[in-house]
Amino acid sequence: MSSPILEIQNLHKRFGKFEVLKGINLTMQQGDVISLIGSSGSGKTTLLRCVNFLEDYEVGLVAVAGEQIGYVEKNGKRTRLSEKKIARQRAMTGMAFQHFNLFPHMTAIRNVMLGLIKTRGMSKDEARSVAEKWLERVGMLDRRDHFPGQLSGGQQQRVAIARAIAMNPQLMLFDEVTSALDPELVNEVLEVILDLAKDGMTMLLVTHEMQFAHDVSNKVIFMHDGKIGEEGPPKQLFKKPKSDRLATFLKNSKF
């Protein structure tokens, strides 16, 4: 059997004295869509950021497609990989951010093309056609020559998703991608994600949209205090929460 797309074992992460992640275990197979829910400060975003090594981690293992991210173990000693290797590993996953983080000095299509050219080594023409394909997929092809400042939040986020996914990652990470959007722009972004999920994209999402988490995921993880509080299929987790904590959280999230 091929190795899982994502494997996290006993992951610990601390910021100074504060331990944010206290031993996380998580496995994702090809095509899995997993949502991380939980109150702020529970470690959801940090967990996500450890997967593409935007955060380093002290203890444990994060492996994408069987390859440990960020470190190499040799004779029981852990050393950080070179910058080049880490960069290559990061390109195995794609990430969409809460605040989009498009490059403001580039048009929509150049935003998508940059990684294709610089990381994937495509020619400009090749990169352009791939970028066009993905911009069309997220419904942004007609805005290809607009700069981020000329686009609405929802449009920017769709371009940002195209930028990440055009790299053909094994796993997509979504970090509260609708939290910074006006309510009426949330759906256009969620629809894009739903569309990708139907296509079999493996996705790990941090979200506050409970209904969306319920609809899109095949597994939901409730994080609490740096640990996995409860996990399971969305129906079970949302309808029959086992712990009082999750029940309270769901009630407060108006689900």
Residue 48: which residues within 8 A CB-CB, separation 6 or more?
36, 95, 173, 175, 204, 206
Residue 24: which residues within 8 A CB-CB, separation 6 or more?
8, 10, 11, 43, 47, 60, 226, 227, 228
State yes or no: residue 90 binds another protein (CB under 8 A): yes
State yes or no: residue 115 binds another protein (CB under 8 A): yes
Cβ at position 95, least distance to another protein in Å:
4
Per-residue binder mask for another protein (CB under 8 A), 51-70, x = binder: -x-x----------------
Cβ at position 254, least distance to another protein in Å:
29
State yes or no: residue 80 binds another protein (CB under 8 A): no
Cα angle vertex 101, ends 96, 107, to 5°? 105
Q: Which residues of 89-121 are buried (b: 16+ CB within 10 A; e: fewer)?
A: bbbbbbbbbbebebeeeebbbbbbbbbbbeeee
In Å, how far from its chain's centre is CA 39? 18
Residue 179: which residues within 8 A CB-CB, separation 6 or more?
98, 208
Give the residue with the Cβ less far from another protein, 115 or 234: 115
Please select the residue that binds another protein; options are 3, 10, 30, 119, rule is CB under 8 A.
119
Stretch that binds another protein, among 35-43, 67-75, 95-103, 242-250 (CB under 8 A): 95-103
Give the burial class of 163: count Cβ atoms within 10 A of its Cβ; 0-12 exposed, 13-18 middle, 19 or more buried.
buried
Are 157 and 100 in contact, with CB atoms under 8 Å apart? yes
Cβ at position 241, least distance to another protein in Å:
33
State yes or no: residue 223 binds another protein (CB under 8 A): no
Query: Per CB under 8 A, which of residues 154..213 are in contact with another protein?
Result: 160, 163-164, 167
State yes or no: residue 129 binds another protein (CB under 8 A): no
**Reduced to 3 states, what is the DSSP secondary structure of residue 224?**
strand
State yes or no: residue 152 binds another protein (CB under 8 A): no
State yes or no: residue 150 binds another protein (CB under 8 A): yes
Give the residue with the Cβ less far from another protein, 35 or 107: 107
Q: Which of 141, 203, 94 is nearest to 190 (CA)?
A: 203
Please select the residue that binds another protein; options are 78, 80, 105, 124, rule is CB under 8 A.
105
Cβ at position 78, least distance to another protein in Å:
21
Question: What is the binding site for another protein (CB under 8 A)?
Answer: 52, 54, 83-84, 87-88, 90-91, 93-95, 97, 99, 101-105, 114-115, 118-119, 147, 149-150, 160, 163-164, 167
